C-alpha cells in the first residue's frame, strides 16, 4: 500500500485484500458503528463522492485492523486533490498554480512602478499620461481580488492609494486632470476598503469607503459615487446595521443613465440590504430591477470595477437573498445552478456563496446535503487570506449542532473543531 494514496482507492484496496464485497463491508461497519450502513454508502466512500470523517475513519480502521492515522493521511491526500479541482490530475494543481502565478506576477510588475510614482509628488506637473498609468495599475490590481483575499492584497492596495493621494496633494495639474486623479483615488480607496473588510478590519474599511465617497463626489462621477455608497451599505449590513438608506442613495446617485452592469450591481446591494432586515417585498423588487438591468443588453461602456457583474452574479445575489430570507425553494435551485459553473479559482467567493446554499439546505431539512456543502467550504477556503468564509462556515455549523447525533454532522463538527 502506498502511504500517500487517496482514501477512496485505499478503502477499496483494503476491502479487496479482506476478500469482502461492498455489501460485506457495509455489514461489518454496521456492527462496529451501531448504525445501519448500506452498500451504496461504501460505494460512495470508495468513489470519493463522500469523504469519511473522523467518526467513520475510526470504524474503517477497526474493520481492516489498520491505524487510524494511516487513513487520515489518505483523507488529507484526497482533500488536497479535491481542492485542486477536476483538472488537477492533468494540469498539476491548476487552480492553485493559476492563483499563485497571477498574484505574484501582478504584484511583481506593479512594485517596480510605485517608487517612480511617489517621486513625482515633489511639485511635478502631471498630465493625462500619469492618470492613464494609474488607471492601468488599478485595473491590474483589481484582478488580484478575483483570486486572493484581503490578507494578501490590503498592503498592496493601501500603498497604491497612499501614493496617488500624495500625488494629488503635492503635484500640479489641470482641473480636468485633478478630477481624473480624484476618480482614481476613489476607486483605490474602494479597493483598500474592501481588502480591510475582507480581513475583519471594519472601522478601517468604513473610513476608506467614506474617503472614496468624498473623492467620487469631488470627481463628479455619479456611478463611482453610487458604488461608494453601495460599499458603505454592504459594510453596514455586515456589521448588523441597516444598509437600506445607503443602498437606496447609491441607486439614486448613479441614476437611470448609469451603465446596465452598474445599475445591476447597486440594485443587488439594495436587495441584500432589504433581505438582511427580512423585507421580502423590497428584496424582490430590487432583484427584479437588477435582472431587468443586466438583461437589457445595452452596449454602453462599463467601468472596470463593475465588469464582473453579469447574469451569473445576479443569480448568486438572488440566491443569497432568498437564503437569507429562509426561502429554500427559491434559493437552492438558483444557487446550485450558478455555482455549478463557478470556477474554483475564485475560492473565497465560491466558498462564501456555498455557505448560503448550506443554510438553505438546512431550512429545507436536507441536513446531510448541508453538512456536505460545509465540508466543501472548509476544503475550498483553506489557505485563503479572508476571514469571511470561515466565519460564515461557523455560523452554519452552529445551525447544524442540534443534528450532531447524525454521523456526517458529527464528522463535520469534529473536523471543524480540530
Max avg pLDDT among 82-86, 97-101, 240-244, 374-378? 240-244
Per-residue pLDDT reduced to its tens digit, 336-352: 999 988 888 888 999 99
311-418 maps to CATH 1.25.40.10: yes
Average pLDDT, the chain: 87
3-state helix, strand and coil shares in percent for the chain, rounded to the nearest 5: 75, 0, 25
**Lowest mean pLDDT, pick from 104-113, 206-215, 244-253, 366-375:** 104-113
Rounded Cα distance, 51 and 120, in Å: 56
Dihedral in degrees, nearest 10, Cα atoms 161, 162, 163, 165:
80
Taking alpha carbons only, the member of 171, 169, 174, 173 closest to residue 124 is 171
pLDDT over 90 at 371, yes or no = yes
Q: Give the per-residue pLDDT at 126.
A: 86
Percent of the chain with pLDDT over 70: 89
Taking alpha carbons only, the member of 33, 97, 95, 98 closest to residue 60 is 33
Rounded Cα distance, 310 and 255, in Å: 19
Band of residue 109 on the pLDDT scale cut at 50, 70, 90: low
pLDDT over 80 at 123, yes or no = no
Band of residue 417 on the pLDDT scale cut at 50, 70, 90: confident
Percent of the chain with pLDDT over 90: 54
Q: Are 287 and 264 in contact (CB under 8 A)?
A: no
Band of residue 1 on the pLDDT scale cut at 50, 70, 90: very low
Rounded Cα distance, 31 and 131, in Å: 72
Taking alpha carbons only, the member of 348, 390, 385, 349 closest to residue 151 is 385
Q: Bigger pLDDT: 188 or 68? A: 188
Residue extents of the structural domains in the chain? 7-84, 95-220, 225-232+244-309, 311-418
**Lowest mean pLDDT, pick from 9-18, 62-71, 93-102:** 93-102
Rounded Cα distance, 8 and 83, in Å: 16
Q: Are 308 and 317 in contact (CB under 8 A)?
A: no
Q: Are 367 and 329 in contact (CB under 8 A)?
A: no
Q: Give the per-residue pLDDT at 119.
A: 57
Per-residue pLDDT reduced to its tens digit, 286-324: 999 999 999 987 777 899 999 999 999 999 999 999 999
Q: Are 216 and 186 in contact (CB under 8 A)?
A: yes
Q: For the domain 7-84, what is the CATH code?
A: 1.10.260.40
* pLDDT (average), residues 54-67: 87
Amino acid at each position: 500500500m502506498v502511504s500517500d494514496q487517496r482514501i477512496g482507492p485505499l478503502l477499496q484496496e483494503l476491502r479487496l485484500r479482506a476478500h469482502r464485497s461492498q455489501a460485506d463491508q457495509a455489514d461489518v461497519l454496521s456492527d462496529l458503528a451501531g448504525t445501519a450502513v448500506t452498500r451504496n454508502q461504501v460505494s460512495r466512500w470508495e468513489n470519493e463522492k463522500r469523504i469519511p470523517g473522523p467518526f467513520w475513519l475510526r470504524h474503517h480502521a477497526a474493520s481492516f485492523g489498520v491505524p487510524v492515522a494511516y487513513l487520515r493521511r489518505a483523507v488529507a491526500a484526497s482533500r488536497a486533490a479535491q481542492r485542486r479541482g477536476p483538472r488537477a490530475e492533468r494540469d498539476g494543481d491548476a487552480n492553485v498554480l493559476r492563483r499563485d502565478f497571477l498574484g505574484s506576477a501582478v504584484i511583481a510588475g506593479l512594485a517596480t512602478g510605485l517608487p517612480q510614482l511617489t517621486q513625482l509628488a515633489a511639485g511635478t506637473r502631471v498630465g493625462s499620461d500619469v492618470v492613464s498609468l494609474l488607471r492601468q495599475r488599478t485595473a491590474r490590481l483589481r484582478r488580484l481580488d478575483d483570486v486572493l483575499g484581503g490578507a494578501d492584497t490590503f498592503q498592496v492596495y493601501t500603498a497604491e492609494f497612499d501614493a496617488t493621494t500624495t500625488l494629488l496633494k503635492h503635484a500640479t495639474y489641470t482641473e480636468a486632470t485633478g478630477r481624473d486623479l480624484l476618480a482614481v483615488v476613489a476607486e483605490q480607496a474602494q479597493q483598500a476598503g474592501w481588502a480591510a473588510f475582507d480581513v475583519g478590519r471594519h472601522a478601517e474599511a468604513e473610513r476608506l469607503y467614506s474617503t472614496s465617497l468624498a473623492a467620487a463626489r469631488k470627481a463628479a462621477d455619479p456611478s463611482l459615487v453610487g458604488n461608494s455608497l453601495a460599499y458603505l451599505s454592504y459594510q453596514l449590513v455586515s456589521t448588523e446595521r441597516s444598509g437600506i438608506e445607503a443602498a437606496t442613495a447609491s441607486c439614486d446617485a448613479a441614476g437611470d443613465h448609469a451603465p446596465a452592469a452598474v445599475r445591476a450591481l447597486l440594485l443587488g446591494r439594495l436587495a441584500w440590504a432589504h433581505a438582511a432586515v427580512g423585507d421580502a417585498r423590497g428584496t424582490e423588487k430590487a432583484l427584479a430591477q437588477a435582472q431587468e438591468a443586466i438583461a437589457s443588453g445595452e452596449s454602453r461602456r462599463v467601468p472596470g470595477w463593475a465588469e464582473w457583474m453579469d447574469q451569473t452574479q445576479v443569480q448568486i445575489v438572488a440566491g443569497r437573498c432568498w437564503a437569507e430570507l429562509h426561502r429554500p425553494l427559491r434559493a437552492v435551485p438558483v444557487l446550485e445552478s450558478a455555482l455549478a459553473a463557478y470556477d474554483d479559482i475564485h475560492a473565497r467567493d465560491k466558498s462564501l456563496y456555498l455557505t448560503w446554499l448550506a443554510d438553505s439546505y438546512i431550512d429545507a431539512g436536507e441536513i446531510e446535503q448541508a453538512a456536505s456543502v460545509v465540508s466543501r467550504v472548509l476544503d475550498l477556503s483553506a489557505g485563503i487570506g479572508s476571514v469571511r468564509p470561515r466565519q460564515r462556515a461557523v455560523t452554519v455549523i452552529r445551525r447544524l449542532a442540534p443534528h450532531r447525533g447524525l454521523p456526517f454532522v458529527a464528522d463535520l463538527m469534529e473536523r471543524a473543531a480540530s
